[in-house]
Amino acid sequence: DINELADQLQRLAESMGAQVRAQTARISTKTRSLEILYEVVASLNTSRSRDELLGNFLETLVELLDARAASIGLFAGSGGWQIVASEGDMDELLSRWVTADHFRRISASVSAEGKMKIHRLEALPEPGSSPELIVVPIQYRERIIGLFNVFLDRSSTEFGTDFRDLLTSVGRHVG
């Protein structure tokens, strides 16, 4: 009957509308990821020295992610590592939200496994915040040469499902 057909068409239109909205959101997230990757690569290509390159990269990353702070450390030949660039007050955030020993364990885990880690921190006094520490390996020819750390005031899930892949790719480009 005509009413059933009209109902089916209405459900089909609603279903297609939902699919279009979902695909539009997915494309928007992908576009944002590409913008971030482009900005990072552009900042790497304009640098002259290693320290300038890493400083420009970190500044771009902090701005694009609206991060509270970030740092980059490279492994030294003696087995230790050296912070070569930082943005924001990393020391204050580390001392306030993560013990030095816990930070070392997270960093060692990322170094050993070669995979980034997202560590949720205790909530800040601001309502609705869910801060995270993200530790990403910097890789060069399948070898981990350092790490970059980012403090976010919000959950990284807000950046979409491809965020992990994006930061892993960024770590490889920086390497």
Q: Tell me: the pLDDT tens digits for 14-31?
A: 999 998 888 887 777 677
Classify residue 88 by its DSSP letter.
S
The pLDDT of residue 47 is above 60 = no
Given a cut of 60, whether residue 73 has pLDDT beyond it is yes
pLDDT for the residue 64: 79
Q: Which residues, listed in sequence order, are joined to residue 119 by a DSSP beta bridge?
A: 133
Q: How far apart are CA 82 and CA 61, in angstroms?
A: 20
Residues above pLDDT 90, as percent of the chain: 2
Quote the pLDDT of residue 79: 67
Task: Give the phi and the psi of residue 172 in degrees, each rounded to 5.
Answer: -75, -40
The residue that leads in pLDDT, 70 or 26, is 70
Which pLDDT value is given to residue 156? 79
User: Residues 41, 173: contact at Cβ < 8 Å?
Assistant: yes
Cα(171)–Cα(111) distance, integer angstroms: 12
Residue 126 pLDDT: 60
Q: How many CB atoms lie within 10 A of CB 149?
A: 27
Per-residue confidence (pLDDT) for residue 85, from 0 to 100: 83
Angstrom CA distances, 131 to 101, 104, 107, 151, 154, stand at 19, 19, 18, 7, 5
The full DSSP string for 23-50 is HHHHHHHHHHHHHHHHHHHHHHHT-SSH
Q: What was the pLDDT predicted at 96?
A: 67
Q: What pTM was computed for the model?
A: 0.68
Exposed, middle or buried: residue 156 (CB in 10 Å: 0-12, 13-18, 19+)?
A: middle
- Looking at every residue in the chain, the average pLDDT score rounds to 79
Among positive and negative, which fits the CA dihedral 91, 96, 99, 102? negative
pLDDT for the residue numbered 124: 53
pLDDT at 123 over 60: no
62 pLDDT band, cuts 50/70/90, is confident
Residue from 32, 18, 55 nearest 174 by CA: 55
pLDDT of residue 171: 80
pLDDT greater at residue 23 or residue 93: 23
More confident residue, 100 or 87: 87
What pLDDT does residue 102 have? 75
Q: For position 46, what pLDDT does the model report? A: 65
